[in-house]
A and B are shown apart, each in its own frame.
Chain A
């Protein structure tokens, strides 16, 4: 069973501050890693699909890095805004395009 770990489980950040959190996964047989944002009362939406070691992707104030050799990915948010409050999920593809999700990091931005 593939084990995808996210830390921390929850995080409170002051508006304007930057933050980051981690997704850890087994480094063997890596295929792809996804980051999703899940806002309250909505469905999860994909932020990034990352496939190559050393990948760095950016969307506005949010960016992510990938290290497949050591088995981790970081998600960074620069200058947090209240609309960034959500649960951030990482997921690993395990054969046949089956995605296994971590428990998520619940981010709350305090105004």
Chain B
């Protein structure tokens, strides 16, 4: 069966520090991968999605970036965090036939 894991679960970072969130999927190959963010009081905002290794589509201009170095690995990064980067980040993969998303456990980021 397929599983998805992301880490770390929580982190508190100072403004201007770097960020790396990692997500891995097991039990499937060549999945579509996604990073979503829920900011306080808001819905799920699509940040990045990837349909294959090295293929990244960015949805919202910001100081975040994403990379897919391996088929089932998706990384969200920042060189310098802003206060507005605080939020709950979710990684997900989708079944290509239906587009149904399966989410990781989430990472709560607080930037101080």
| A89:B105 contact, CB within 8 angstroms | no
Q: Given the complex, which residues of A lie within 8 Å of B57, measured CB to CB? A: 96, 98
| B101:A36 contact, CB within 8 angstroms | yes
Name the distance in Å between B15's Cβ and chain A's nearest Cβ.
Answer: 27
CA distance A44 to B51 in the complex (A): 21
Number of interface residues of A (CB under 8 A): 20
| B43:A34 contact, CB within 8 angstroms | no
Selected interface stretch from B20-28, B72-80, B92-100: B92-100
Is A109 on the interface with B (CB-CB < 8 A)? no
Q: Given the complex, which residues of B lie within 8 Å of A46, measured CB to CB? A: 100-102
CA distance A45 to B46 in the complex (A): 16
Is B44 on the interface with A (CB-CB < 8 A)? yes
CB 8 Å contact bits of A26-49 with B (1 = contact, 0 = none): 000000101010000001111001
CA distance A46 to B59 in the complex (A): 22
Q: How many residue-residue contacts, CB under 8 A, span A and B?
A: 55
Is B7 on the interface with A (CB-CB < 8 A)? no
Majority SS at the chain A contact face: strand
Is B90 on the interface with A (CB-CB < 8 A)? yes
Selected interface stretch from A11-19, A56-64, A77-85, A99-107: A99-107
Closest Cβ neighbor of A94 among chain B residues: B46
Q: Given the interface contacts A96-B51, A103-B43, does A43 sit within 8 Å of B99 by beta carbon?
A: no
CA distance A102 to B44 in the complex (A): 7
| B44:A97 contact, CB within 8 angstroms | no
| A49:B100 contact, CB within 8 angstroms | yes
Q: Given the complex, which residues of B lie within 8 Å of A100, measured CB to CB? A: 46
